[in-house]
Amino acid sequence: MPKKNNIILASSSVSRRKIMDATGIKYISLKPLVNEENLKKNFKGTTKKLALMLAEEKALSVSNKHNDCYVIGADQVLSFKGEVYNKPKTMKEAEENFRLFRNKTHYLDSATVISLNNKIIWRNEQSPKMKMRNFSDEFLKNYIKKVGNQVTLSAGGYSIEKQGAQLFSKIDGDFFTIIGLPIIPLLEKLRKLNANGIIK
């Protein structure tokens, strides 16, 4: 069981865990107990508010079982022309999405929160602007073949820290946020909270 003032990442995301691991701080990762599909289905509001609601629900689902722990919740919603795009279920769906986004701009509405004792005590909201380049059909087919099922692991279907960088011509936004966590402001807040004895 987590000890007092431990840091908990309420996520099973490999990308988010890698970001946390790279910082060297001590934390544990627990899967949030939420049904994302139902939450999305019943939500009425903007994509930004949807991302925030999902992040909060994830954090609170873990926080209510672990007192005196700083629980981090995060989520991303890909928004294109006002529509929400979930993680591609198949490589074919990812390829269809890439064709749709090609030479156009979409947004990755992102929210990260910290919960303590079942209350949200910090929020960070960002919406990186993502412009895909006008790549050829040949490039796209080769790209999908190279990355394989990785395209089904994130909202956009791309891993921008890897070969996914080749998909874009311009990005406006924080790199770490795009990967999954706004680690610089998150660490700054955790230091102020003296979470898990992080050195200020």
List domains and CATH numbers for the chain.
Answer: 7-197 (3.90.950.10)
Tell me how far apart the alpha carbons of residues 164 and 88 are, in angstroms, rounded to a whole number. Answer: 15
Which amino acid makes up residue 164? G
Band (5; pLDDT cuts 50, 70, 90): low
What pLDDT is attached to residue 194?
84
Measured in whole angstroms, the distance separating CA 20 from the mean position of its chain's CA atoms is 13
Backbone φ and ψ for 99, nearest 5 degrees, come out as -65, -40
From first CA to last CA, the distance across the chain in angstroms is 26
Q: In terms of pLDDT, which residue wins out, 40 or 113?
A: 113
User: Among residues 192, 199, 198, 187, which one has the least CA distance to residue 72?
Assistant: 187
What pLDDT is attached to residue 181?
97
User: Where do the H-state alpha helices sit in 64-124?
Assistant: 91-101
User: In which element (H, E) is residue 126 found?
Assistant: strand 119-126
Residue 3 clears pLDDT 80, i.e. is over it: no
Please give the positions annotated as active site.
Answer: 75
Band (40; pLDDT cuts 50, 70, 90): confident
Number of other CB atoms surrounding residue 186 within 10 Å: 23
